[in-house]
């Protein structure tokens, strides 16, 4: 019943005064968000936004592909104003499916460095997710590591753990390599790289880190926030495993370490455009960026805010400044290369 009240007020004001403007001023401001980001990793920030602005945020969480399908099925009637995903590839996909629209506010889009937003302004990065090499501290000297490409060398035969090729993080990593070196070079690399696998890909990034700690392999490729999550875990076994593993930033001598984004798109169906822009702007302010990055163990998309103390310990690194839109454009090529290499 509470939710209906503003409508009654609005209708009453309209009948009494005949002024439609009385309606809009009584209608609570709101913005509707479909989020592939877990609720606990975004909700506290949305609550702060509501407290600061009076704009109510209605949050629907789910898997990215399911949310994209839902947007498609709902079409123009969709209540969603914003879509949040945890990788650029899916934002690209949503745009290709014509489920997004240009964010018509250059002051907002210019808050985000060019590499981390759609060239046509359909979506913006909210945080950066680095995918470095992780190694067994007791068995691997960081001097023996250099690039993603070098993980295909004979030296690493039977020593590499990485998750399956149907995972979009790996698809994006391979897409970034294709952008850098071309498809033929990456095709050759992928074959040698797969030959170096210690086991058939199984599990998520945490499982690769655990396998390194357990001695099943010596190096893995994983996103840093998984290692951070394990280091700060209440589960002692997980914490202990993470302590056996350290981060190596690959490709510092050339293009930099691969990064992906979590990002936000304006949906094609958006009706609360002004409120949606306000929320996007809010999420890009230094305070929100610091909270978002620290809470999730990611990196801010803007310069300035400090990262989590444990991330600070792994030091600064050069990031690949490839426009993350290319990760979407090259996704199909990446999947084909991985497939042909036998990366399951
Ligand atoms: Fe993840």
For the chain, 344 residues long, the average pLDDT of each consecutive 10-residue run is 33 38 61 94 94 97 97 97 94 97 92 95 96 98 98 98 96 98 98 98 98 98 97 96 98 98 97 97 95 88 91 94 96 97 96
- Sheet containing strand 82-85, strands side by side: 56-61, 30-35, 82-85, 259-266, 123-130, 299-300
Architecture per CATH, domain 9-129+260-307, reads as: 3-Layer(aba) Sandwich (3.40)
Which regions of the chain carry the CATH code 3.40.190.10? 9-129+260-307, 130-258+315-340
Query: What fold does the segment set 130-258+315-340 form as a domain?
Result: D-Maltodextrin-Binding Protein; domain 2 (3.40.190)
Give the CA-trace dihedral at 61, 65, 66, 69, to 10 degrees.
120
Q: What's the gap in Å between 291 CA and the centre of ligand 1? A: 18
Instruction: Read off the pTM.
Output: 0.89
Q: What's the gap in Å between 172 CA and the centre of ligand 1? A: 13
Q: What's the gap in Å between 36 CA and the centre of ligand 1? A: 11
Q: What's the gap in Å between 81 CA and the centre of ligand 1? A: 24
Q: What's the gap in Å between 164 CA and the centre of ligand 1? A: 13
274 and 81 Cβ atoms separated by less than 8 Å: no
Q: What's the gap in Å between 142 CA and the centre of ligand 1? A: 25
**Helix axis angle, 331-340 to 168-181, nearest 10°:** 100
Q: What's the gap in Å between 137 CA and the centre of ligand 1? A: 23
The pLDDT, as a whole number, for residue 26 is: 56
Q: What's the gap in Å between 152 CA and the centre of ligand 1? A: 24
């Amino acid at each position: 019943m509470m939710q209906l009240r503003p409508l009654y007020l609005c209708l009453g004001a309209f009948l009494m005064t005949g002024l439609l403007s009385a309606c809009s001023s009584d209608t609570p401001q709101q913005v509707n968000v479909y989020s592939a980001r877990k609720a606990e990793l975004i909700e506290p920030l949305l609550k702060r936004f509501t407290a600061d602005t009076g704009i109510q945020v209605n949050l629907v969480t789910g898997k990215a592909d399911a949310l994209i399908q839902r947007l498609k099925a709902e079409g123009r009637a969709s209540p969603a104003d914003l879509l949040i995903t945890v990788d650029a590839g899916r934002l690209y996909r949503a745009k290709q499916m014509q489920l997004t629209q240009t964010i018509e506010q250059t002051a907002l889009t210019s808050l985000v460095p060019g590499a981390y937003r759609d060239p046509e302004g359909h979506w913006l990065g909210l945080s950066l997710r680095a995918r470095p090499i992780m190694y067994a501290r007791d068995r691997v000297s960081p001097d023996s590591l250099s690039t993603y490409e070098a993980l295909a060398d004979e030296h690493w035969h039977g020593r590499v753990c990485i998750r399956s090729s149907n995972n979009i993080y790996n698809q994006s990593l391979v897409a970034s390599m294709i952008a850098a070196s071309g498809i033929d070079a990456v095709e050759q690399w992928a074959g040698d790289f797969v030959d170096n696998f210690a086991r058939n890909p199984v599990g998520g990034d945490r499982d690769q880190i655990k396998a390194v700690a357990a001695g099943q392999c010596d190096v893995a490729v994983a996103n840093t926030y998984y290692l951070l999550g394990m280091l700060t875990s209440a589960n002692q076994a997980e914490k202990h495993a993470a302590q056996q593993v350290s981060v190596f930033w690959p490709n510092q001598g050339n293009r930099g370490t691969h990064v992906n984004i979590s990002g936000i798109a304006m949906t094609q169906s958006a009706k609360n455009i002004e409120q949606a822009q306000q929320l996007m702007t809010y999420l890009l302010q230094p305070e929100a960026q610091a909270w978002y990055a620290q809470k999730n163990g990611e990196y801010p998309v803007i310069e300035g805010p400090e990262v989590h103390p444990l991330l600070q310990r792994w030091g600064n690194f050069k990031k690949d400044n490839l426009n993350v839109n290319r990760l979407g454009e090259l996704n199909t090529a990446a999947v084909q290369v991985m497939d042909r290499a036998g990366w399951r």
